[in-house]
Every structure is written in C-alpha cells, then in structure tokens.
Structure 1
Amino acid sequence: MYKTQTKSTPDKVSSQDPSQIEDDEVAKITFSLQSTTIDSSVGPQLVSTRAGIVELVGEIADLPTSPPSLFVDLEGVNLSRHGTISILQIYAAPLDRTYLVDVHILKEKAFSQPAGNGMTLKDVLELSSIPKVFFDVRHDSDALFAHFGVRLAGVQDLQLMEVATRQCRRRFLSGLAKCIEFESSMTPEQKGGSYEGFNTRPLSSEILQYCAQDVGYLPGLWRRYDQRLTAIRDRRAEVEQEVERRISDSQHAAYNGNGRHMARAPPRWAYLS
C-alpha cells in the first residue's frame, strides 16, 4: 500500500493538494517497526526467479480455503494501468510465511511460469475456489489486468467488509491506516520513504521488512470483520456483490481510479439496517 496512488482511501474528501494527501497517507501507514509485530515469525522470502515461482505456486495452490489462507497486496509506482507493479506480496497463513514476488524483475514470467502441478500464479489469482484477501482491491485489479491480463476472482475485500459492518456513518471508506489504528490502538510514527525504492535492486532490508509488515496486518483485520459479518444477516452477500463490481469496473476501458468517488462507500449501504 506504499504507492503514489495509494489504495488507503482518505476517510473524507479533502481540499488539500493531492501530493500532500499522498504524503499524509504514507506517513500514517508506515508504523514503527519496533513497536508493532506481524503474523509471520519467519523473514520474508523474496521470489525473483522462475524456479522460485515454481516453488511458490506449489506451496500455496492447495492450502485450506476456509478460513482463507492467502492475504495479498501489491506495491508499485503509481499502481494502476498507468504505472507499474514492483512487488506482489502473499502471506500464506497456514505456513506463517510471507512471499515477495519480484514482478519488476520477472515481469510476465511471474504469472505465466507453470509449477509442477501445471498451475501458474495467474491461475491461483483467477480461481474463484481459492480465496484471496485484499484491502481495497481496485488499484491492484486495475494494474494486474492491464499489465498481465489477470482477472482476479475469489477476492475478499477488507475495506468493504469494514464499512459494511459499521454501526453507522457508512458514507465514506476507511483507509488501511485508519482500520489498523482503530482495531489495534497502535500509535503511528511518521517516517519518510520513496516509491522508487520498490524498483531499486537489490531491495533494501527496510523495503523487504516493510512489505512483510504491510501484508501481515491483513489476517487480524480479516478475523475481526469476518466475525462481525457472520453476526449480520445477509450483509455478506452485499459485500460479495460489491467486490465483484469493483473488479469488473477496474477492468473496464473507461475506468478512472482517481477522484472523489474513490473515497465514497456504495451509496445504498448508507441505508443498510
């Protein structure tokens, strides 16, 4: 989520300069590495070769699906059809392992290289039978489809799960930083950073650690929001329909991933009982 077009949507539309909004969001998301922990007890595994992709797909393709095993995020410079994908992060919960796929180096081979079982990473991302958890899938879907023809399916979107389970005030979406702050009572520490760092090789230890920490927040959020969805009749179906709409819209030629509309929750959700 550390990108020029951040998916961490502001909680309300601001009249600030867009670059200032961007800097504020990056600062809020980049929490102190000393005061927080992630789910994985093992260092992140960088996947930058075709052999690494073969191993990765072989390890994650048949993991349990309930609860979801795979938590996914992407990093890039202006992550969208107009920018680039640098790194694809996958946290595999049953393995307690974080994989950082170096898309900047591997390019299309990251998605097309078959494993021993014949599956590719593209297959894993496209199969509806393999659930994948994202936070605000819109920029990720836009970039994956535009650059590599990946049609995401089986997606659970934490941003939509959060707003659908609020008791009130569902007009605006929350960004990841806001969700982490609210759910864990962690205190943000403002740190600087460069988006271009994701395209500098070799990757710095700070970038590797950031990527692992970033995706590591998602399982805890999923558990909280899934519990709340289970307690609310028929709300899960609403979320699933909206996720499908987000993905479909992001693949449309006229899709616009910038603007005030990106901060707004689905209008009909303001009236959910």
Structure 2
Amino acid sequence: MSTSRVNIVAIDTESALRPLITEVIRDRPLLYLHIVGPELGDRHLISIMTLYIPSKNVVYLLDIEEMRHVAFTTTNADGKSLKYILELPSLRKVIFDIRHGSDSLFYLYQIRVKGIRDVQLMETVLRWGRQDTLGILSVAMQRNSTFPEALVKKWCDLNSKSSYVFNPLSGGRRGTFGERPIRQDIMRYVVAQVAVLPDLYNVYCSKLQQSDEADVRARVAEATRWRLIISQRPRAQSALILGWRGPWDDAYDHAVENGYKTPIQIAAPEDGVNYGVSYDHDEPEDDEYGLECFEKVWDVIGHCNSPGPIDESI
C-alpha cells in the first residue's frame, strides 16, 4: 500500500484554478465531489466545493464563497472551465446525493451537471428491504464500508461532532461554512465527506456489475437522471425530490408490474439529453483501493486540531 500523503489544496483565485482545469481535462480522472453551503438546495450560496482525485493524491477545496461566478467562468488556455467539467457527460463525478448541489448550481450559476454517479441512490437500490426512503452517509458507512470497525467509528465520531459546528439543531451556525479563512474544523468535515466515497463507490459498483443486475443498473441510472432534471426545474417542482422519500416506492413497483409508466418516467420524460448517468461500465477498483484512499486522507485530517485557517504545513 502506498504511503504517500494526500495534499489539500485551497483554491480561491483564477490563477490557482486554471492548472486544475487543465489537469482534469487532460487526465479525465474519476472525481469525488462534495458541495456545501448555508441552506444548500434552497438556491442559496455555495460556500465550498470539494474535489478529491485519488489518482493524484490531492483534495481540492474550491472557495466558491470567495470566487462566486468566477469559479465557474474562469477558463484555461484551451478555453475550458469548471462549468465545462461539471457539464461533461463522459467525466464521472461521484457524490452522495446530487439533488441539493444540482439545484444550487443550476439556479445560481446556470450549470447543468452531468456524468453523476449518486452513491445515495446506489445504496438505496442495493439495500435489502424497503427502498422508499433515502439513507444518510454515516449509515451507509456503518452498513457497507469495507473499513475496519475502528476506522468507521472514528469517521462517524468526527461526522457527529461536526454537526455541533454548523447544524443549528445542535447549536451550530450554517454561516460557519462562509467564515474566512476556512476553519480547520470545517476543512476536516468536508474532506472527510469525500474520503469515504471511493470505498463505498467501489462496494456498490462491484454489486451492480454482477451479471444479473442489469435491471438494477438501469433503475439507478433512471433515478439519477430524474434527480438532475427535476432539480433544474422551477422551485415548486424541484422541491418534490428534496425530501427523504426514495424513488422506488409502492407506486413505482405497481407501475412496473403492470406495464405502466413509472412516476419517474412521468415526472421526467425522455428529453434526448445525454446526462452521462449509465452505470453499466463502472468497474470497481481493487479491494485495497478504498481503504488506501481513506487512510491517506485521514492521516492529513488528523493534523488539523483546532478552528482557524488551514495549516499550510500539513
């Protein structure tokens, strides 16, 4: 297992962003994505977009609070931008629940994200039992992660403690995401969110690629496309998918059994757009890949012990 450490790079200027754009366009890596902000999904400001590229051992913290539109309109020498990357169907972006991020990206910056692999939907469609409610990342970790139990507990503890920083129900403030310099406790939280995605994506890809799972892959692709379409519609319509009900309820099953159009097909009919959401050829990495990625990132997170700006020495 490689011992090279992950670098955390904060980007808040055009000059710092251009090399990232060029690198992603050139290498077409698998991107692990997290988007956060005050009241995200209610078309409020995006504060931080986190991009994890395991193949490069780098986590990028894009300061959208500081850059705003410039973050998405800045172009490299070839005229390509972050908007171009997010809208590129052939470039896979893995995220846990795209709904709120897609909602804000479209209505604030007119970005129609494509190429999404939604880990929340993958977990739901592969779950044994009811599929009409959506899960949360910590539960997916506890049920499906291949990590040792001690590591899972550490991650869940950090995730729980973070809620005291930004969750008003726990005494925190949503505006904490917008404080500058970026607080180290916020940095730990957003980096931890992407750190676990390679493992879970690997687990779910392996299950989806089983020979008898073609229908399941089609279901999760259809639901991903549905999320993207509806989240980019007027508020009254997009609000329909921002709750905790899953797409595969009794009405869906009844429609499939009787040959009717499903609620998903009715709400988001085929529009001829390539959203790049097919899961048919998503091959899992080797078994050690997810744990290796997580351990590298966790080693860096452990060096951030107090609120305040990111420690440039880590």
Question: TM tier, shorter chain?
Answer: 0.7 to 0.9
Q: CA deviation at 1:260?
A: 9.0
**What's the secondary structure of 2:122's corresponding residue?**
helix
Q: 168-177 or 48-57, which moves further after superposition?
A: 168-177
Of stretches 201-210 and 45-54 in structure 1, the one that deviates more from structure 2 is 201-210
- Which of 180, 184, 192 lines up with 2:141 in the alignment? 180
Residue of structure 1 in register with 2:165 after alignment: 193
Q: 2:311 corresponds to which residue? A: none
Residue among 230, 234, 245 paired with 1:264: 245
Q: Distance in 2 between matches of 1:154 and 1:196?
A: 30
Cα distance 1:43–1:257, how it changes in 2: closer, same or farther (>3 A)? farther
Q: CA distance change for structure 1 residues 261 and 123 in 2, over 3 Å: closer, same or farther?
A: closer
Secondary structure of the corresponding residue to residue 101 of structure 1: strand
2:106 maps to 1:145: yes
Q: Distance in 2 between matches of 1:40 and 1:269?
A: 47
- The aligned counterpart of 2:10 is 46
Deviation at 1:81, TM superposition (A): 4.0
Cα deviation, residue 153, structure 1: 0.7
Q: Does residue 162 of structure 1 match 2:123?
A: yes
Displacement after TM superposition at 1:262 (Å) = 1.9
Are 1:229 and 2:200 matched, yes or no?
A: no
Number of aligned positions between the proteins: 232
Instruction: Return 5+ residue gaps in structure 1 as ranges.
Output: 1-38
Report the Cα offset of residue 209 of structure 1. Answer: 2.3
Query: Secondary structure of 2:55's match?
Result: helix
When the two structures are superposed, what TM-score results if normalisation uses the length of structure 1? 0.78
Determine if contact 2:50/2:194 at 8 Å carries over to the other structure.
yes
Partner of residue 215, structure 1? 194
TM-score (norm: length of structure 2): 0.68
Q: Deviations over 1:151-204 (max 9, x none)?
A: 011111111111111232212111111111222342232422122221111112
Counterparts in 2 of 1:96-115, with a 5 A limit?
96-115=57-76
The farther-off stretch of 47-56 and 180-189 is 180-189
* 2:31 paired residue among 44, 54, 70: 70
How far is the alpha carbon of 1:138 from its aligned partner? Answer: 0.4
Q: Distance in 2 between matches of 1:183 and 1:167?
A: 12
Measure, in 2, the Cα distance between the counterparts of 1:269 and 1:166.
16
1:123 aligns with 2:84: yes
Q: In terms of Rg, which structure is larger? A: 2
On the 8 A contact 1:172/1:263 being kept in 2, the answer is: yes
Q: Which has the higher contact order (CA 8 A, sep 6+)?
A: 1
Runs of 4+ in 1 over 6 A off after TM superposition: none
Aligned partners of 1:59 and 1:95: how far apart in 2? 10
CA RMSD across the alignment: 2.3
1:72 aligned counterpart, secondary structure: strand
The code of the aligned residue for 2:122 comes to: M
> Unpaired runs of 5+ in structure 2?
167-173, 258-314
Distance change (3 Å), C-alpha of 1:41 and 1:214 = farther
Which residue does 1:95 correspond to in 2? 56
